[in-house]
Structure 1
Amino acid sequence: MKHEAYIRGIGYYAPEKVLTNADLEKIVETSDEWITSRTGIKERHIAAPGETVSDMTAQAARAALADAGLPAEAITHILLYTVTPDYFTPSASCLLEEKLGIRGRVVQDVNAACSGYLYGLEMARAILALHPEAVVLMAAAEVLTSRTNWADRRTCVLFGDAAAAAVVTSQAPPVSQARVMDVRLSSDGSLGHLLTIKGGGSGQPYKLGDVVGEEFFLAMNGPEVFKHAVRNMAGVCEEILSANGLSKDDIALFIPHQANWRIMEAVAKKLSLSTEKVMSTVARFGNTSASTVGVALVEARSAGRIPAGSTVLLAAFGGGFTWGSALLQF
């Protein structure tokens, strides 16, 4: 028996501090014109000293629970998607559980990089298929600025920090939110070397007294990542539309991973979607990795861009490489 999955509540959190392009001009050799013309980014939110993924996710989770009209005690599973957890152990999901004041739940951290939100939706659907009574808190969060090389002007202009959360159940909510129609996911590990954060892992461990080098921070082959991101996001979107008997005309809004505006625009062009149908938050938040789609979803609803009856297409692409798409019916 198939059980439906409904997004019953959504929320996000972005840190208070904002770093503008003008601020970056004082840190690294760059300019507002250079950043804006190449990425569409004007500013990004930066976690305060000591502010962690679990701190931010707790804020986003509380917003999603309030939106769902449910107490934290109702949660049965916590899924937290991140590449920048508070620590290697304890897991950020365990810390989140404690910060929400609950115990005894099923919790796990998962790394799917920038595709985390979509991987999380699929994992939530899988849990509900086995446990239809479950209430799944799915979150995606990054303090990616903790792994940003502020001396690398090619990458430091791109990233910000944020958390997004969704409460997913098999019971239709009393106030209509979104039904998860379908999710399609994929990956290609042979291309993982094009986008990395290596230092500190078992492949590049540190000894006591070692100096942290560039390998500790995010490194990326921008042109190659751009090419694969556009091709794979467009391809998986075409796949999910075809599998569900839909065309571009059936899509009210397209919410892609907010990597940079050029990538988003290129994917929309491949899908023959007008840019008016593309939800963009990249100017205000930059690339917040796993949380970008979730943040943009909340912003789109708040802006009235998702009327009742709308079909919304989501897409993401991230390190690994991983990518995916999802269809939501509001």
Structure 2
Amino acid sequence: MLCGLGIFLPSKVVTNQDLSLFMETTDEWISTRTGIRERRVVERGTSTGDLAVEAGARALKSAGGEPADLVILATTTPDHPCPATAPAVAHRLGLLEAPAWDLSAVCSGFLYGLSTAAAFIAAGTARRVLLIGADTFSTIMAPADRATRPIFGDGAGAVVLRAGTAGEPGALGPTLLGSDGSLRELITVEAGGSREPLGPGDPDRPGRYFTMRGKSVFRRAVARMTEAAAEVRARAGWAPEDVDCLIAHQANRRILEAVAERLALPMERCALNLDRVGNTAAASVPLAMADAAASGQLEPGHRVLTTAYGGGVTWGAAALTWPSITPELT
């Protein structure tokens, strides 16, 4: 069950107007197509691990301060290609010798991590798990790419999970995960791995930057997020009117509206914070959770449906009952 929640956002705010100063775009063009008006961006020298440590510390404090005995960091933008970032995050949090690893499922990473954490707890291998979703996509964006740069922001969100009973607030219900590697080219950073290594003469090679085929992603994201959420809702035994809040990956307002409509949910029952933070990849779902809880949209006992779609391609959904948590927003 979920018993702690913490988030951390960089202090630097980049508005649509700021972007229009160095790329061919306008606030109206961005906001009407995505619903995003501003996003947070790390300063040079601040890493994904730095954000993860701050969010993780707040989640542990929210859960009463008891240490976790396992750490999972969902991210696409680790501090280094090697080693993984999670062990360093665990060490900085004082979770000495706790098993820790990175999980890469792009924007579905938090839900993949949620299912993984629940499995370790159910197996008795872990007692308390710190799950962090953190990304700094600004570090892998082409500086003036109008197709991607306005969409993404940086941030981190973390939760603590522990063993519990099905009737408790915070209880995790059914989960569903999926992937389709035949569509891997829809969302990708082509260069920098073992298939296309970057050499000393390739610092500005186009393949080093994130690319996304927006129209194809839009269509498939709506379909997969809806299907996964509907299946999880059915497994939980919930009718549409039983869902108090839909927390979908904050990719694009039009995607969220389409998913909500197909699930027969009014938008007032959908968490929405992308206008202020953009698409924060693996951090998206926990950041939206925190915003909904802090605003009063989420209350203890509420039935929550979550869903996400990301590169790989990957997708997932989960049901949970909301606990008594009021996170500190940054």
TM-score normalised by the chain length of structure 2: 0.94
Residue 87 (structure 2) pairs with residue 94 (structure 1): yes
What is the CA–CA distance in structure 1 between the aligned matches of 2:252 and 2:37, rounded to whole Å? 11
Per-residue Cα deviation, 1:204-251 (whole angstroms, up to 9, x for no partner): 102223333111111111000000000000001111111222111000
Alignment of 1:297-316 (within 5 A): 297-316=289-308
Verify the 8 A CA contact 1:9 1:177 in the aligned structure 2: no
* Separation of aligned partners in 1, 2:183 and 2:63: 39
Q: What is aligned with 1:136?
A: 129
CA distance in 1, matches of 2:78, 2:68: 21
Distance in 2 (CA, whole Å) between partners of 1:287 and 1:39 is: 10
Alignment partner of 1:190 is 2:182: yes
| Superposition pairs of residues 247-262 of structure 1, within 5 angstroms | 247-262=239-254
CA distances 1:39-92 after superposition (whole Å, capped 9, x unpaired):
000000001111111110000011101110124xx2110000101000012211
Once the two structures are superposed, the pairs formed by residues 84-163 of structure 1 within 5 Å of their partners are 84-131=77-124, 134-163=127-156
Report the alpha carbon displacement of residue 177 of structure 1 after superposing the two structures with TM: 5.0
Structure 2 partner of 1:179: 171
Give the partner amino acid of 1:13. Answer: F
Find out whether 1:7 has 2:32 as its counterpart.
Answer: no
**Counterpart contact for 2:41–2:138, Cα < 8 Å:** yes
1:295/1:138 CA distance change after superposition, 3 Å: same
Give the Cα separation in 2 of the matches to 1:132 and 1:211.
43
Residue 214 of structure 2 aligns with an amino acid whose one-letter code is: G
Aligned 8 A contact 2:70 2:126 in 1? no
61, 65, 81: which is aligned to 2:56?
Answer: 61
Q: How far apart in 2 are the matches of 1:232 and 1:295?
A: 21
**CA distance in structure 1 between the aligned counterparts of 2:229 and 2:154, rounded to whole angstroms:** 26
**3-state SS of the aligned residue for 1:178?**
coil
1:278 aligns with 2:270: yes
Q: In 1, are the aligned partners of 2:181 and 2:313 still within 8 Å (CA)? A: yes
Contact 1:39 1:260 in 2 (8 A): yes
Q: 2:288 aligns with which of 287, 292, 296?
A: 296
Listed as ranges, the gaps of 5+ residues in structure 1 are 1-5
Q: Which moved more, 1:155-164 or 1:93-102?
A: 93-102
Q: How many residue pairs end up in the alignment?
A: 320
* Distance in 2 of aligned mates of 1:244 and 1:328: 9
User: What is the rounded CA distance, in whole Å, between the counterparts of 1:310 and 1:134 in structure 2?
Assistant: 25
Matched, 1:320 2:312: yes
CA RMSD of aligned residues (A): 1.2
Moved more, 311-320 or 93-102: 93-102
Q: SS of 1:162's equivalent?
A: strand
Maintained 8 Å contact 1:132/1:170: no
SS of the counterpart of 2:49?
helix
* Contact map agreement 1:81 1:117 (CA 8 A) in 2: yes
**Structure 2 residue aligned with 1:20:** 15
- Give per-residue Cα distances to partners, 1:253-296, cap 9 Å, x unaligned: 11100001011011111111111111100000000001100000
Q: Which runs of 4+ in 1 moved over 6 A?
A: none
The residue aligned with 1:242 is 234
Structure 2 unmatched runs, 5+: 323-330
TM-score, with normalisation over the residues of structure 1? 0.94
Q: Which residue is 2:325 aligned to?
A: none
Letter in 1 for 2:257: E
The answer to whether the aligner puts 1:203 opposite 2:195 as a matched pair is: yes
For the residues of structure 1 that align with 2:307 and 2:8, how far apart are their CA atoms? 21
